[in-house]
Structure 1
Amino acid sequence: MEKLTAYVHQLDDLAIGLTILTAAALAGIVVKYIIFWLLHIYNRHDNPYLVRSLTENLNRPLAFFIPLLFVSISLPGLPFSEQRVEILRRITEILDIIAFAWILVKLTDVARDLVRHQYAIDKTDNIRERKLFTQLTFMKRLAVTIIIFIATALILLSFDAVRKLGTGLLTSAGVAGIVVGFAAQRSIANLLAGLQLAFTQPIRIDDVLVVEGEFGRVEEITMTYVVLRLWDNRRLILPLNYFIEKPFQNWTRTGSDILATVYLYTDYTVPVDAVRNELNRILAGTDLWDKRVSGLQVTDSKERTLELRALMSANSSGIAWDLRCLVREKLVLFIQQNYPGALPKTRSEFVGENIPAIAEVS
């Protein structure tokens, strides 16, 4: 009879404890929804970007953290044994650390949203914005890594066995540091290269680069590698150390405007002034030219051809590419239609009684 009474008493305590925990969690859920309901009403009237970003990014982590906080507060009132309460307290502490780390990670997203709202990267002259976004991207990734590392360390140190193990490892920290340093030297080098790239900025987000003979834009900069989106939508992945140790071309280092060139190879009989006037006419008739620089010069004279260089300016590398293609096509068509004799020729001399002295082969 006594065992039955004790068993029933335990069931009563369990039911009361579960009721308290459920009520605490529900209270936390209600408080969370009230807070976000008030924020939603505030957003509908004033629509501040900060509050909207907070509600969008912190909705899910706070839906987990606030009920968990109420559960933690209710633990001392549970009719359980000290051992069970201690187990529940340990579990809630671990979950609290995870939830708080989640909130901190989402706060980095809030900071990113505020910067993106303040500075628009989609305008033509966006060097300042790209510089800021490059630093922000790297610092965000670094902050998230540090938050996850500290949260993991706090969770592990909450266990006595791990804490004792850590105390023992401290005595051999020098040897362990040397071993870890050799094992992770490439990762450490990439991390230091990332810090150097973020602040010296030889490259930035959306920079136009020519690397390994490939033309592309910087799409992403992580803590270990850089992603280039090439002109045909392929992705070129390069380690951060590459941009510290090897040369590359950055077409948008100091500005997005660029000079475009087109080379033509013609016969010596080409009327240069006529081609120059045609270039000016082509540029005046297109919006791709920004009206800053234009010109055509004879830049070289080879054995069989003259080298003509057409020079023109554009607002960006993408526009410059289209402008080069347009000018090249139009100038070749102009020479074909008006001066076909000025196309490149190969001249040969034949010696014989019934053969002309000189023949031209187009």
Structure 2
Amino acid sequence: MKQTFFSTLLDIQGWFDWLPPTIASLFILFALGAAAAWVAGFILKRGFARVPGKKRPGSFIRTSATILRHPVQLAAASVTMILAIPALEISTRIVGPLAHLLAVLIVFAVGLSLIRSARLACSLYIEQLDASGEEHEEDILGRKHLTQVRLLQRIAEILIGLLTVGAALMTFEPVRQYGLSLLASAGAASIIVGLAARSVLTNLIAGAQIAVTQPIRMGDMISFEGDWTWVEEINATFVVLRAWDKRRRIVPLSYFLDNPFENWTYNSAELTGAVYLYLDFLAPVDIIRTRLAEIVEGCREWNGKDFSVQVADSTDRVIMLRITAGARTAVRSWDLRCAIREQIIVWIRENCPEAFPQTRFSAHDSSPENQPSPYRMQARLPDNPGGMFSL
């Protein structure tokens, strides 16, 4: 078969006797590579990419054929050209560099195929998580797996990229010769490289720790510098935080291992929010408490479990009512608190406006001889509680 292949190439080269041998050989070589790439792409696109079936095997084959088409075409063209070089009349000055270039292209094609395969495997796993039917922000286990998969994907891509570049460089003879001297000075070199890339290595190691320990996950809501933000993306060295007003903050991964922070969805997405009302001492607390219970029960954001109304504090002018209510997520907790605050204020204004804070003052003679004794004040207060005070 090999002899047949070589003889066919020689016959084709004979068609171009009117050209210099090297130019004719290079033209045939690149045409042969293009034909091999077209055949490989045709097989993947028309064959594997059209495998019937909506279930996992058929879908996996179609997706793999689509994603790996270009790396396979590059590898097929490079291998075919390397096999055809001995049968063609190419100058010896060109054969060596050309074969070396094709070998490097094969290495990069293999590395690109591995990177795309890792992305495909992670995407298929994430699709299984999304198909569970649970709300993304409430599915703690799903977000945990999503974070691990994303971080492992980033680390795998970096390692495959480094190995691919290293394998390509090792095809160069000078690099292999320098390898011995690099190994001899590995101690000093490792210190220099470690100091130069300290921040990068720190964040890469932090990414591996976060993938294992899970202090943050994709979709978590955390309090960052006074803002409530969502973990939108976790890369190999940094995290993208999305604030409520669509601002994005880029934070190094090492920050979440070196600094304390609040994760509002660590074990559960449920959150208990508090609403504070400042009312007058004349406010009918029991009636307001009953109305608050009706308001909370009518809100769809309430989780049906956590609710309380307490007089949490008082000053010389007002009392403070603390209303707590639980919701299934932090966003729903915010909406629930806004609804409670809005509805109870409207109800108080329409039914008992005297419950709103009031300002009181007294007008009397401040001379000592006209000051009533404490006993006379106490005696007069039950008869006319408002006698000394007016609005």
TM-score (norm 1): 0.90
The 1-side partners of 2:304 and 2:341 are apart by: 18
* 3-state SS of paired residue (1:304): coil
Asked if 2 retains the 8 angstrom alpha-carbon contact of 1:262 and 1:309, the reply is yes
Identity %: 33
What are the ranges of 5 or more consecutive residues in structure 1 without an aligned counterpart?
Answer: 1-7
The residue number in structure 2 matching 1:90 is: 100
Question: How far off is 1:45 after superposition?
Answer: 6.6
The residue number in structure 1 matching 2:275 is: 262
The 2-side partners of 1:76 and 1:323 are apart by: 77
- Partner amino acid, structure 2, of 1:285: G
The residue number in structure 2 matching 1:15 is: 24
The residue number in structure 2 matching 1:60 is: 70
Aligned pair 1:26/2:35, yes or no? yes
- Partner amino acid, structure 1, of 2:139: N
Asked if 2 retains the 8 angstrom alpha-carbon contact of 1:25 and 1:70, the reply is no
Question: How far off is 1:60 after superposition?
Answer: 2.7
* 3-state SS of paired residue (1:290): strand
Question: How far off is 1:179 after superposition?
Answer: 1.7
The 2-side partners of 1:359 and 1:49 are apart by: 80
The 2-side partners of 1:235 and 1:268 are apart by: 45
The structure having more radius of gyration, on CA atoms, is 2
Asked if 2 retains the 8 angstrom alpha-carbon contact of 1:190 and 1:224, the reply is yes
The 2-side partners of 1:200 and 1:78 are apart by: 59
The 2-side partners of 1:272 and 1:162 are apart by: 82
Change (3 A) 1:45 1:122: closer
Q: Which of 57, 75, 87 is the equivalent residue of 1:77?
A: 87
* 3-state SS of paired residue (2:166): helix
The residue number in structure 2 matching 1:123 is: 134
Q: How many residues align?
A: 351
Aligned pair 1:42/2:51, yes or no? yes
* 3-state SS of paired residue (2:361): strand
Q: Which of 174, 191, 202 is the equivalent residue of 2:187?
A: 174
Question: How far off is 1:290 after superposition?
Answer: 2.5
Alpha-carbon displacement from aligned partner over 1:231-269 (angstroms, at most 9, x marks no partner) = 000012211121112111111001112212211111121
Change (3 A) 1:179 1:268: same
The 1-side partners of 2:275 and 2:24 are apart by: 83
* 3-state SS of paired residue (2:283): coil
Q: Which of 164, 177, 186 is the equivalent residue of 1:151?
A: 164
Change (3 A) 1:265 1:153: same
Name whichever of 22-31 and 221-230 sits farther off.
22-31
Alpha-carbon displacement from aligned partner over 1:93-124 (angstroms, at most 9, x marks no partner) = 11111111111111111012111111118732
Name whichever of 27-36 and 316-325 sits farther off.
27-36
Q: Which of 331, 346, 349 is the equivalent residue of 2:359?
A: 346
Q: Which of 101, 108, 111 is the equivalent residue of 2:111?
A: 101
The 1-side partners of 2:276 and 2:264 are apart by: 20
The 2-side partners of 1:224 and 1:122 are apart by: 31
Asked if 2 retains the 8 angstrom alpha-carbon contact of 1:297 and 1:309, the reply is yes
The 1-side partners of 2:18 and 2:281 are apart by: 110
The 2-side partners of 1:266 and 1:122 are apart by: 45
* 3-state SS of paired residue (1:346): coil
* 3-state SS of paired residue (1:269): coil
Change (3 A) 1:271 1:243: same
- Partner amino acid, structure 2, of 1:79: E
* 3-state SS of paired residue (2:191): helix
The 1-side partners of 2:26 and 2:193 are apart by: 47
What are the ranges of 5 or more consecutive residues in structure 2 without an aligned counterpart?
Answer: 1-16, 367-386
Once the two structures are superposed, the pairs formed by residues 169-318 of structure 1 within 5 Å of their partners are 169-318=182-331
The 2-side partners of 1:346 and 1:186 are apart by: 59
* 3-state SS of paired residue (1:15): helix
The 1-side partners of 2:199 and 2:37 are apart by: 46
- Partner amino acid, structure 1, of 2:45: F
Change (3 A) 1:241 1:348: farther
Asked if 2 retains the 8 angstrom alpha-carbon contact of 1:49 and 1:114, the reply is no
- Partner amino acid, structure 1, of 2:265: T
Alpha-carbon displacement from aligned partner over 1:246-301 (angstroms, at most 9, x marks no partner) = 11111100111221221111112111121122122222323222322222222222
Question: How far off is 1:199 after superposition?
Answer: 0.8
Question: How far off is 1:220 after superposition?
Answer: 0.9
Change (3 A) 1:180 1:24: closer
* 3-state SS of paired residue (1:220): strand
- Partner amino acid, structure 1, of 2:337: R
Aligned pair 1:358/2:389, yes or no? yes
RMSD of aligned Cα (Å): 2.2
